[in-house]
Structure 1
Amino acid sequence: MRWKNRPPGANWGDFGPDDQLGRVNLIGREQVLKGAAEVREGRSFCLSLPLDLPGGNALNPRRHPPRLEPTYRDDGRAMLNFPMARIDKDSVDVVSDDQVRITLQYSTQWDSLAHVGAAFDADGDGEEEIVYYNGYRAGHDIKGPTQYGLQGEESACGCDGPHVSSAEALGIENMAVHGMQGRGVLVDLARHFGEERKLIGLDELQAVMRADNVQVEPGDVLVLRTGFAEAVLRMGGRPDPQVLHHACSVLNGRDGRLLDWITASGIAALCADNYAVEAYPAPEQQGRKSILPLHHHCLFKLGIPLGELWYLRELAEWLHAHGRSRFMLTAPPLRLPGAVGSPVTPVATV
């Protein structure tokens, strides 16, 4: 057994001692059929921003937009508009081939269960360890440069050989293999609250759900529209942090009743069109705490993956016009072993 203590309110072990999917386990055959039953018009909506947005790194200095460039031949020539007649004089072909350097959680994304862990006494010996969902360990299961024997500049060299980091448990590839296809349910906070900054606790969330007759069942993927991604899109790659950090609805991770509802609801994943889903930093609290309490509750305790910066306007408008809130959601991440997050191009079908 990987742990003796599990955090209060956690579901560690409920899906098996070696589980790496958490509540994604609830997206099974029945949920796929429920999602398929929502397809009545045969219309699809792309729920991704262009992956070069927000633009720059003003919103998060660690995350940079993707950089496209050609692949290169051994002689240094770029494989873009490359005439194959240079290889075979009788060839009429022209080839373009490219590559990308990308920050995996820069734009529309999934957080894997390896994205956020915590210092917690999982061994029951009075000493805290750095652990992740289901007791997986930092250094042993989620490895960084020091675990691969790399230090300083060498750890960022991008050279061939072993990965510089790797989630050898809880990596994003687990979600990719599972499929991430089922029923999505939209709650349109932006329609009710506009784009003014507003902390959303359980009372506000349930008020909107009652007003729009939104019902959530176990295994559903809950999707929240706040208007944030729409504001990002309007800024055209030049995001204004002073505006965006004070705009749109955002979940209050300090609302214990909201966290309890997330537990009781049985949702398999939680997605939003904003940065972080929850307010960051969270409202002040004294003593030992998480500064990302909703991430802590969902990723660390319950194994609920989070989706961020999804684009929802056209889907939301269509659902509202047709008196619906449910749709079929297809949203697999990249099958990139060891990654702690991934770009995603979710598709809603109605």
Structure 2
Amino acid sequence: MTHQSDNKRWQQRPEGANWGDFGTDDQLGRVNLLTAEQVLKGAREVLTGNVFSLSLPLDLPGGNALNPRRFPPRLSPTRLDGNDYVNFPLSRVHEGLLDVISDDEVVLSLQYSSQWDSLAHVGALFDADGDGHAERCYYNGYRAKADIQHLSAVDGEASASRARRLGIEHMAVHGMQGRGVLVDLARVFGTGRTLVGYAELMHAMKTLDVTVEAGDMLVLRTGFAEEVMRMGGRPDTTLLKRTGAVLDGRDDALLEWIGDSQIATLCADNYAVENADHELDGTECCKLPLHHHCLFKLGLPLAELWYLGPLANWLAAHGRSRFMLTAPPLRLPGAIGSPVTPVATV
């Protein structure tokens, strides 16, 4: 059953969605649950001051075997008047002494390595107008073309994109800071490929004595990013397909738990969080049902390819699962995703 509304952008919302619950023009979704109180909860978990970077080097996994659309970052000098500004003599201070400057730029696929998905990353065909015709729309009824724009190439210029609504900058301004809670799936199930639904997740949480509360930033370790790091920029896709747990986005009980739990974000060290290798059987509507449920319906940001091994080992050694998590994306207006260097403080 859909929720009826007099909202200016949508007349009905998908079943199980929270569109409108945070306001007519909300662009943050469940990030709204990262309140000042959640930041304080995170701060209360800081007992030793130890800090862990949760980012892979941003040139990993290496190549484009994991996703043919995405390539490693390419650094190059900035240029002026035909000069490359690396080791460039900028000015003569006095005879025999020069100021030397190096200045660079990067071409970067924003979701190549450790990353956030913004709420503009996944939408769906849905009859938001209630007129019997499905439209391409995103969280809270924002629309393709009007709000998530694709500008075609003209006169030799490259095509362009811009999320006029739901861009990553809204998450950056909010800060993305609060209490992180780690569920170490690799410690429970090993680092082989395991499909994790509701039953498996509850088993892992019980085994590890982990409790997740509303507003928490849930973090899942599977061992995938650690294997990527060991491969050193030469990913073995055959091996990686057998590595690490993935969430079962086709498990309705799991999706219901994600909705009911009121977690603010869902972060993982694997590629896509969910099982992206499942082949559609002709009866399913979504290739990535967890993305559909979280990004499109709930406004729940997903994070991928975080490097969690050292943090997980430290927490296990100290009988802990909670920490302060600080993970703002780039404040890049209109971007659909962003690299991130998350920091866990314990």
Q: State if a TM-score over 0.5 links the two structures.
A: yes
Matched with 2:55 is 48
Whole-angstrom distance in 2 between the partners of 1:206 and 1:119:
32
Q: Tell me, what secondary structure is at the counterpart of 1:165?
A: strand
Q: Tell me, what secondary structure is at the counterpart of 1:30?
A: helix
Deviation at 1:154, TM superposition (A): 3.5
Matched, 1:34 2:41: yes
Which sits farther off after the overlay, 126-135 or 243-252? 243-252
Contact 2:92–2:98 (Cα < 8 Å) also in 1: no
Please list the CA deviations of residues 170-221 of structure 1 after superposition, one character each: whole Å capped at 9, or x if unmatched: 0000000000010100000011111211100011111110111101011100
Deviation at 1:88, TM superposition (A): 7.3
Please list the CA deviations of residues 202-247 of structure 1 after superposition, one character each: whole Å capped at 9, or x if unmatched: 1111111011110101110000000000010111100011111222
1:93 to 99, 113, 123: 99
Contact 1:254–1:283 (Cα < 8 Å) also in 2: no
Matched with 1:138 is 144
Superposition pairs of residues 9-28 of structure 1, within 5 angstroms: 9-28=16-35
Contact 2:93–2:99 (Cα < 8 Å) also in 1: no
Matched with 2:276 is 280
Contact 1:84–1:91 (Cα < 8 Å) also in 2: no
Deviation at 1:101, TM superposition (A): 0.5
Change (3 A) 1:119 1:152: farther
2:319 to 308, 323, 335: 323
Contact 2:188–2:207 (Cα < 8 Å) also in 1: no
Change (3 A) 1:152 1:305: farther
Deviation at 1:334, TM superposition (A): 0.1
What's the TM-score, normalizing by structure 2? 0.95
Please list the CA deviations of residues 84-137 of structure 1 after superposition, one character each: whole Å capped at 9, or x if unmatched: 346976754221111111000000000000000000000000000000000000
Deviation at 1:73, TM superposition (A): 2.1
Matched, 1:71 2:87: no
Matched with 2:158 is 155
Superposition pairs of residues 192-271 of structure 1, within 5 angstroms: 192-271=188-267
Contact 1:111–1:341 (Cα < 8 Å) also in 2: yes
Which sits farther off after the overlay, 62-71 or 238-247? 238-247
Q: Tell me, what secondary structure is at the counterpart of 2:200?
A: helix
More strand by share: 2
Over the aligned positions, Cα root-mean-square deviation in angstroms equals 1.5
Q: Tell me, what secondary structure is at the counterpart of 1:155?
A: coil
- Listed as ranges, the gaps of 5+ residues in structure 2 are 1-7
Whole-angstrom distance in 2 between the partners of 1:239 and 1:174:
33
Whole-angstrom distance in 1 between the partners of 2:173 and 2:145:
24
Superposition pairs of residues 295-306 of structure 1, within 5 angstroms: 295-306=291-302
What's the TM-score, normalizing by structure 1? 0.94
Whole-angstrom distance in 2 between the partners of 1:88 and 1:139:
57
Whole-angstrom distance in 2 between the partners of 1:294 and 1:90:
63
> Which letter does structure 1 place at the counterpart of 2:72?
P
Matched with 1:7 is 14
Deviation at 1:248, TM superposition (A): 1.2
Please list the CA deviations of residues 14-71 of structure 1 after superposition, one character each: whole Å capped at 9, or x if unmatched: 0001000000000010000000000000010000000000000011000000001111
- Equivalent residues, number: 339
Matched, 1:109 2:115: yes
Percent identity over the alignment? 67
Matched with 1:159 is none
Whole-angstrom distance in 2 between the partners of 1:205 and 1:176:
29
Contact 1:110–1:305 (Cα < 8 Å) also in 2: yes
Q: Tell me, what secondary structure is at the counterpart of 1:84?
A: strand
> Which letter does structure 2 place at the counterpart of 1:257?
A
Contact 2:115–2:305 (Cα < 8 Å) also in 1: yes
Matched, 1:118 2:138: no
Deviation at 1:281, TM superposition (A): 3.4
Contact 1:281–1:291 (Cα < 8 Å) also in 2: no
Whole-angstrom distance in 1 between the partners of 2:45 and 2:154:
51
> Which letter does structure 2 place at the counterpart of 1:33?
L
Matched, 1:308 2:315: no
Whole-angstrom distance in 2 between the partners of 1:153 and 1:129:
30
Please list the CA deviations of residues 138-179 of structure 1 after superposition, one character each: whole Å capped at 9, or x if unmatched: 000000024xxx3596434xxxxxxx1100000000000000
